[in-house]
Amino acid sequence: MSAIKKKAKTKWILIAGCLGIFIVCALYLLSPFPVKDVNSISLPDKFDLPINTGFERQGKNQCAGFSTAFVLRSFDQKAKGIDVYTGIPYKIPISGYVLPKGVVTYLQAQGFTTNLLRGDLGSLKSRLVQGGNPVIVLIGNGLLWQHYMTLVGYDNEKHELHFFDSGRDTDENAELPGNRTMTEEYFSGWWNNGLPIFNHIYITVEEAD
């Protein structure tokens, strides 16, 4: 084999090796991948979680930490959004966005059981009713922006969903739980968030046995 062919072969081996390392690292950072949720139960027409943990206004791109802190407070944990955001792992450099792996990892480190799921409105509501705990959802618009919120209730007659949204300045829900209401149609448009793997996802949280 000529020196030129050997050099070319070595080059392609190095490229293949670097590509393999990149794929392995990407798979690690993106995992766990969401599991398709087939859970479905007979749902009440209305359901709201009887919680009032207080609302916090997030800083730029800190929604993962503030949504996670809201869930922790629903379990009577003393958690502030900025502290959780500071401690949460797997942030994307520069932007500060948190990968779903970061939310899952942080909650598990606090001793909770989590599930990263993909489903539809029926399965999402079913998890809320069955678990009796806020459910974290991810909405967005592809690479332009992504945003975590927590689902705390719904009204099937009005086709509305109730959320805690740390991106809102005021409590827009008055006597309803959470601080923001979305129609199912509006929410579904943003829930189809443009991410090939992580669209229509949600994270359930339960106390570990």
Query: The CATH number of the domain where 97 resides is what?
Result: 3.90.70.10
**pLDDT higher than 90, residue 114:** yes
pLDDT in tens, 56-103: 999 999 999 999 999 999 999 999 999 999 999 999 998 999 999 999
Same domain membership, residue 191 and residue 91: yes
| Percentage above 90 pLDDT, the chain | 73
Same domain membership, residue 44 and residue 8: no
Same domain membership, residue 14 and residue 61: no
CA–CA distance, 32 with 53 (Å, rounded to integer): 29
User: Which residues make Cβ contacts (< 8 Å) with residue 203, sequence separation at least 6?
Assistant: 100, 103, 104, 107, 114, 115, 116, 117, 135, 136, 137
Least confident of 23-32, 35-44, 52-61, 77-86: 23-32
Domain count, the chain: 2
Same domain membership, residue 107 and residue 141: yes
Assign 2 a pLDDT band (cuts: 50, 70, 90): low
Same domain membership, residue 43 and residue 2: no
Structural domain harbouring 9: 1-30
* Mean pLDDT within 6-20: 54
Same domain membership, residue 54 and residue 24: no
Same domain membership, residue 110 and residue 49: yes
> What pLDDT shows up at residue 10?
59
Same domain membership, residue 21 and residue 55: no
Same domain membership, residue 51 and residue 7: no
* 3 vs 56, higher pLDDT: 56
Same domain membership, residue 110 and residue 21: no
> What pLDDT shows up at residue 84?
98
Same domain membership, residue 70 and residue 87: yes
Same domain membership, residue 39 and residue 1: no
